[in-house]
Amino acid sequence: MINPITLPAIERDPSETGGGRIVFRLPSGLLRDLTWHIVKLVETSKHGPWFRLVIGPVRRIRTTGEGSQNHRINGFIQQLCMFTGMDFDVLKFWLKKKAIRRGYPFDTDPDGDTVPWSEAGISVEEAGFLNDEIEQYAAEIGCVLKEE
């Protein structure tokens, strides 16, 4: 299970020269909370005190609800299903696979096949890649999509 924590911008430690350390500026109370969570994880982990630390840019999670990217994507796919007669899940998976060429995130299964990510974990930008692919496919087959 991944528990993301967003930290403020980092700075190079001014006391270091030439190689150095990176300094995270932690808001007050975060260090105490973070330490408590790490202790709890160690106590409950079946792998002992080993953890993976992933550092990356903050991802803007895609929007949900009425008028959102998620609503738009699923609504457009439903319209395409009515137009083509294809199954919703099959068409959605296929469009996600096509969107990988635009930058849609994916994993690789043991057979080496690409498996697009669930929308639950994608960013605003990555949802845009899927939306662009959906709109291109609709144009190619002559389906006029309507925002609902």
Give per-residue pLDDT as tens, 118-134. 988 888 999 999 999 99
Token pair belonging to 21 = 């350390």
pTM of the model: 0.64
Q: Which residues contact 99 (CB under 8 A, 6 or more apart)?
A: 116, 129, 130, 132, 133
Q: At what angle do helices 69-84 and 124-141 cross, to 10 degrees?
A: 20
Other beta carbons within 10 angstroms of residue 107's beta carbon come to 9
Give per-residue pLDDT as tens, 71-114. 999 999 999 999 999 999 999 999 999 999 999 999 999 899 99
pLDDT computed for residue 50 by the predictor = 66
pLDDT computed for residue 1 by the predictor = 43
Annotated domain spans of the chain: 1-58, 69-141
CA–CA gap between residue 29 and residue 61 (Å, rounded): 25
Query: Which residue did the predictor score with more confidence, 111 or 6?
Result: 111
Q: Closest Cα partner for 96 from 120, 65, 61?
A: 120
Give per-residue pLDDT as tens, 29-73. 767 777 777 777 777 777 666 666 666 666 777 777 888 899 999
